Amino acid sequence: MDNCSIFLNIKQTSDGITDESELFTRGEFRYHNGSYFIDYDESEATGYEGSHAQLKIDEKMMTMTRTGTTFSGLVFEDGVRHFCHYGTEYGECMVGITTHELHNSLNENGGNIHLRYSIDVNSGLMTENEISIRVKM
């Protein structure tokens, strides 16, 4: 059941080149057992058409699970590095996710999440990322 609008601004920097994209989609926003959940279907614009994304946000962390054509399970916790399963159209791998900044201002009416993190493979930096998510009921 779509009950909200979701706006994503995504900035990715690799080898000194920054790519920025914006995405608007409809999805579901809810609060359950102390966590906020944001669910939406991925599209061609994100490169994961045919997949479904679920964000689970609580006071200290955010997890992102992608299912469908690919599977990813990413954990974002401010100041912590997590090893995560990351699926792409080319295959699957384990990556390190180090969260540098996680701000959450969600409430029952929607709100914002801002996230800065880096992804490494075999301890070598792959990308620096910044995502801003706005949920509007």
Q: What per-residue confidence (pLDDT) applies to 128?
A: 98
Residue with tokens 């706006």: 7
Q: Say if residue 30's pLDDT is above 70.
A: yes
Number of folded domains that form the chain: 1
- The pLDDT tens digits of the residues spanning 91-131 come to 889 999 999 999 999 999 999 999 999 999 988 999 999 99
- pTM of this prediction? 0.92
105's CB contacts (< 8 A; 6+ apart) are 111, 112, 113
Domain of residue 42, CATH code: 2.40.128.20
The better pLDDT of the pair 69, 115 is held by: 115
Which residues span the domain enclosing 10?
Answer: 4-136
For residue 112, the surrounding DSSP H or E stretch is strand 110-121
Q: What per-residue confidence (pLDDT) applies to 123?
A: 84
The two structure tokens encoding residue 37: 């959940």
User: How many residues comprise the chain?
Assistant: 137
Give dist(CA 124, CA 134) in Å, integer: 31
DSSP string, 45-109: GGT-TT-EEEEEE-SSEEEEEEESSS-EEEEEETT-EEEEEEEETTEEEEEEEEEEEEEE--BTT
The two structure tokens encoding residue 44: 């061609």
Look up residue 67 and give its amino acid.
Answer: T
